[in-house]
């Protein structure tokens, strides 16, 4: 069966993507939006865990041994983690 014969079986306005899905452009956009949101949820959890570890560093006994440059780097890192 050729691709021109298969295109007659699809509903009007639908297209076949590279992976063989029969979906309209709106369905593809909805699927891609859902996938993007899922990736952001995973990234958000990672950022929250990293931020929690950064906040816990201050309460370690060796934190007082850090020099001024290291403390500045730490503060900048905490602000970047909070902004993320």
Q: What is the pLDDT of residues 56-73, one digit of tens each?
A: 988 888 888 989 999 999
Which residue shows structure tokens 């306005």? Answer: 13
The whole-number average pLDDT for the span 4-25 is: 61
The helix/strand/coil state of 62 is helix
The whole-number average pLDDT for the span 10-35 is: 77
pLDDT value for 15: 53
**Percent of the chain surpassing pLDDT 90:** 36
Supply the pTM of this predicted model: 0.55
């Amino acid at each position: 069966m050729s691709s021109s014969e298969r295109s007659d079986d699809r509903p009007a306005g639908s297209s076949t993507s590279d992976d063989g899905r029969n979906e309209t452009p709106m369905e593809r956009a909805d699927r891609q939006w859902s996938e993007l949101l899922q990736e952001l949820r995973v990234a958000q959890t990672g950022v929250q865990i990293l931020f929690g570890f950064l906040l816990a560093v201050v309460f370690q006994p060796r934190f007082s041994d850090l020099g001024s440059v290291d403390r500045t780097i730490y503060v900048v890192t905490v602000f970047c983690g909070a902004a993320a």
